[in-house]
Structure 1
Amino acid sequence: MDSATLGTGYSCTLTAGFSKWRNPSQIPRSIQFVRHQQNKRNLLFKSLKCVLISHPSLAAVRLRSLASEFTGLTEPIDRVKRLLHYAELLPPFDESARVPANRVTGCTAEVWLDVRLDEFGGTRFAVDSDSEITKGFCSCLIRVLDGAAPEEVLKMKAEDLMEMNVGVGLGVRAHSRVNAWHNILTSMQKRTEALVAERERRAEPQTQVVSG
């Protein structure tokens, strides 16, 4: 059976032959069986198409692109330079958000993180640090996760970030800098989870107490 036959569910010969039977019940059982089998093939074909056109998450696509960018740099110094380049691209941090509640703990450098949900349900992040290397890390995280759905943010793992290989060759402070990935990501996820929980709480119908 050629592709035209598969796409329509009937061969040209069968389709032309159906016209002499106005009542579908009058169609011979052998032809009904052929049509049934062709319809089953069409259903399978459509199901396969649905599977093939499924897309990965926005954050996963961004991470893959960024990881490819860093792993293409074989020299550690070049990866450090790329981090510093991303540090320069980090958007300015709102000074009003530089408060103790937005401080990320566990990092050697000072890091501030502000998180909110936009009107479309996306997660928006603003980050800053007093360390240029850490700012580079923050900028990469912003590049991957800013605007992503909360579910995507919560599914991200620190191990996924290791594909970028930026911690290798950074010297004696490499371990603390790699930990910055984990600490900042964990803070992003905790605050995202809290915002989602707060949004769901507000969406719940309020029980009214009627006094007698």
Structure 2
Amino acid sequence: MYGPHETSLVMMVTTFKEVKKGEEIVASYIHALRSLWDRNFMESHGFICKCRLCELDRSESAYVITKREALLKSLTFDPVRYLKAGSLHADCEIIGALEELRAATPDLNIALTNSDIYKIASIIMLNANAEELNFLCLLILEKVYAVIENVPPNCVTRAYAETILVCCMKMGKEKEVLEKWVEEVRKYCRLYAGTLEHVRAGDYPTIPEDLKKFGIEFFND
């Protein structure tokens, strides 16, 4: 997170991990979750991005690109249908096929950040009473989060960690696992609002109270 200082021409940088002396700090000029076509506009100005994602996108065949687009368009996202037993099978197969397209580089599988995939996982979690469905929701979201961790924070607009944390609580995960995701939610709140109170503005405003049942205090500032 960065921005100009209030009183001088100084760039203020806040990091959420340790930065060693002499380590390079970089900023993204473009939105990392957009397609290569949208990100590639800088080539007209003489800039050719050599990051892993852009290089991987350029190396893909037209067949793979077309197949991915078709798979994303075939996601059905029907909350009512999901309440029926076995109705998730088709969409889960589609998500699996999307994973296979970048099996060698799962951390760069930007297709998994598609908004419908997040909605599918959220609907499963909110309506799931069976442990199997909660497990499915967690499995999907953890794979999405593995991608999100490699994306500049300013490109992330959904509180993925909150949904994962709530899913973990529903499954009764051990305290160590819960604390891991609690810290991710705290990081998200500090980044986007500068205060942990931001959790109250999300889809799960009772997270602090729910965590107390597991012996965890959310507000630790």
TM-score (norm 1): 0.24
TM-score (norm 2): 0.23
Larger RCO (alpha carbons 8 Å, 6+ apart): 1
